[in-house]
Amino acid sequence: MDYIRKADARGRANFGWLDSRHTFSFGSYYDPRHMGVSVLRVINDDTVKGGTGFGAHGHRDMEIISYVLEGAIEHRDSAGNHFVVPAGEVQRMSAGSGIQHSEFNASRTQPLRFLQIWIEPDVMGIAPSYEQARIEQRGQLTPLVTPDGRDGSLRLHQDASLYRLHLQPGERFTLRSGSRAGYLHVIEGSADADKTRLAAGDGAGMTRTREQTLVAGAKGLEALWFDLPRE
């Protein structure tokens, strides 16, 4: 791995109702060493208290993915979409030419935790669009969001793909980036990559390395793998 981002070194913003950990520079947190990998610009690990959330606000020309870890998001937007996204589902919103949306904890009492992911699109000014789905794991690596929507995945306006990686304890898997870049974000469990232990919240990027073998720890591994164009 060429780039290691440990969970406890991430930026943090705590507003009481929201506790957010920033893998890359975001909002008031800025570090020129951590600006993203390729077209991947944001991974925020957000915990939202019951009965609270993000009020209506605008975005444009960004692919925004939400991966719900705990609880459920209540989503509304100016295109008329109103959906609840429960834990285990993935949501993709293309902001395109401009959209207003809100994201609230669907529960008044239980916490919501989700990963908010931003990927730069390869086309600007398109009509905003929205998708969500529950995508069951199929083997070790399952596509969640891809440019062509293959195998039931959501469709992304960028030459990039997001996969969920699931390994049993002690299981091995080799990540291959080839001529591209990649980024791994650990959700649960752990894995050894050479002499580096990656645990929940940790991330690792491949911008020069062409392949990397992971060995899952005693509790297995659940992670997100981003296949990205090399800049």
Contact 7, 200 (CB under 8 A): yes
Percent over 90 (pLDDT), the chain: 96
Q: Would you place residue 117 in the very low, low, confident or very high pLDDT band (cuts 50, 70, 90)?
A: very high
Give me the mean pLDDT over the 156-176 stretch: 98
Domain limits, the chain: 10-134
Distance CA 77, CA 4 (A): 35
Q: Which CATH number does 10-134 carry? A: 2.60.120.10
β-pair partners for 113: 47, 70
Q: What is the pLDDT of residue 188?
A: 98
Over the chain, what is the mean pLDDT? 97
For the cut 90, the answer to whether the pLDDT of residue 150 exceeds it is: yes
Q: What is the pLDDT of residue 194?
A: 86
Give me the mean pLDDT over the 158-169 stretch: 98
Phi, psi at residue 178, to the nearest 5°?
60, -125
For the cut 80, the answer to whether the pLDDT of residue 231 exceeds it is: no
Q: DSSP letter string over 205-224?
A: EESS-SEEEEEEEEEEEEEE
Distance CA 20, CA 126 (A): 30
